[in-house]
Structure 1
């Protein structure tokens, strides 16, 4: 059943751990001790008898950078709602999509991917089967972060990539929201919630929000 991305985003972002989670697995294995991997391991700890984390780097007790953690790359991969991923396997974090680090979306995305995994495991789905339900939830998060990141990249004069259809209109709307966030606390709170990935970007695109933004910008010229 279709659910609006904004509603899915809000539900995942506000999810809380179950009071009495069910143990569904014997051992769960996490490949990669990135932030996304560690958060996924924390979720799996509620549903597995044991969790094994495998990483190619030697992990110490400190917070030093590790050579196996890529930074500054940009790629986008859609696992096709789980259709091409074996049963009992999910992908999180940079294994699905990594963004320009200047926008600070990595930690938020990792946390939301873990929330998607928690919601999926608590839904009663078979954890040994294809995780289509998980990837459907995750896609809402990935598409939102990817859209914000690439839209900001395309606004840079140095980027020569072709602009998608409707880009000029969406850029105008974005400029109205950003401008109004400086002078209007209501728009500022909504804008901050989207930038911090607590709300879906579509919550800024409603006619009422855009009309308020335009009105505020005109009144402060």
Structure 2
């Protein structure tokens, strides 16, 4: 690569998808500008542009592996800042829809549990140190600009404080602005059609609060997941440790069965889950935050890969495909899409190669969303009130098989490891149908409820009331 090989790239959006995209582009472009609407905080603080920042965020192992390749040391810095390393399934008490707690098998996947704010801030600090990357904050994009050849040649941005407008030239523009992307409007202004959209909405909502981990707490687990079992049991709950000696505690309900955000309603909802474990935790842990609710959880895919876009324009992350956030796929899928973009640009030996390299690039990026989309929408279709898609015979057969997978995962180490590789977005869902795994799944009988002492809250926990 030569220093003058490619010119200037602009990334719209400074969240995780935008940060990782900027890092990838810095290997091929002389300069990269990230345009962000918000004022970016100087520390791991919540910002307006991330409405879910206070809720649990999962950055699965498949995403963290990519981040560590792009930005070595992020994981180490997260742990140094108080993030909690977790080994799955060892460190998690997980109640599957089969009413079985998974056995604490030796860990096959490693996670670092932290708030979204700490994760994003840590990644951004690393990206800011990459040569050629700059940030234009408190600016919003108002339109795209086309060059004489009909390709995107830049964009217009508006200073949100002064209202002043500025044109930015660009050899490539990547929209990573998320669910609220205005790209369909900008395309319409320059004579292009809006993309076809697929939306699947299970009317799932969740409520979250922070708890202080009690002094002297001990247990065989660090995290808890009471998985919903729709349609009979649409409610679930999850709790992970995070920096600051805290638990982030979330309860969820699908099919419009939204958890309340008042104190009594929140506790009653937790007590209604298939296990009393999370309700027991609420009795012994001190709440240190309000209760926050979130209901904007529809899966939405804007099919830019089917659209003829102007040249030198790409779409990535939630701007392209936004998943139900309860499954925690978004950031990891964005990392995998950025990795695809890195491979596409690696073939550019000169600026003249860029149009050829970008041909078909949007389809290649969208390909990374297919497996997660199948998992997310397939899970949401278990709720009978879900809109946007209908359950086919194939869907029912797949879900029936996945039920068997989760039954087997509770006490079969090989099935558990295979499922966790899919959950962590390392393997595609098709891996669960491999000739090696299917016999293990299908030969297992459906087990009855776990014995009452399968999980016991440890003695040091003394009720506060």
TM class, shorter-length: 0.7 to 0.9
Match of 1:142 among 350, 358, 369: 369
Query: Cα distance 1:129–1:66, how it changes in 2: closer, same or farther (>3 A)?
Result: farther
* Equivalent residue for 2:398, pick from 170, 174, 179: 170
What's the CA shift for 1:128?
3.9
Residue deviations 1:146-189 (CA, integer Å, cap 9, x gap): 11100111113443652134111111111111111111111111
8 Å contact from structure 2 (residues 22, 32) kept in 1: yes
Is the contact made by 2:8 and 2:31 (CA closer than 8 Å) also made in structure 1? yes
Aligned length: 200
Give the gaps of 5 or more residues in structure 1. 1-19
Residue matched to 2:318: 94
Does 2:69 align with 1:64? no
1:111-137 deviation digits (Å, cap 9, x = unpaired): 101101101111348334572432232
Q: After alignment, is 147-156 or 128-137 more displaced?
A: 128-137
Partner of 2:11: 30
Which 4+ stretches in 1 moved above 6 angstroms?
Answer: 20-23
Supply the distance in 2 between the matched residues of 1:139 and 1:109 (Cα, whole angstroms).
10
Tell which structure's C-alpha radius of gyration is larger: 2
SS in 2 for 1:57: coil
Distance 1:21 1:135, change over 3 A: farther
The farther-off stretch of 67-76 and 106-115 is 67-76
* CA shift in 2, pair 1:186/1:92, >3 Å: same
* 1:108 corresponds to: 332
1:105 positional shift: 0.3
Bigger strand share? 2
User: 1:53 Cα shift?
Assistant: 0.5
Aligned-partner SS, 1:60: coil
Among candidates 414, 418, 426, match of residue 198 of structure 1: 426
1:86, 1:130 within 8 Å by CA — same for their partners in 2? Answer: no
Residue-by-residue CA offset, 1:33-71 (whole Å, 9 max, x unaligned): 110010000001111111110011111222333323455
Aligned equivalent of 2:149: none
Aligned to 2:55: none
Higher helix share: 1
Query: Distance in 2 between the 1:143 and 1:53 partners?
Result: 27
Q: Which runs of 5+ in 2 are unaligned?
A: 53-295, 449-465
SS of corresponding position for 1:213: helix
Q: Distance in 2 between matches of 1:139 and 1:164?
A: 23
Q: How does 1:116-135 map to 2 (within 5 A)?
A: 116-124=340-348, 126-128=353-355, 131-135=358-362
C-alpha distance 23-64 of structure 1, shift in aligned 2 (>3 A): farther
1:55 aligns with 2:36: yes
Q: How far has the Cα of 1:77 moved from its partner?
A: 1.2
Aligned counterparts of 1:76 and 1:65: Cα–Cα separation in 2: 26
Residue 153 of structure 1: aligned partner: 380
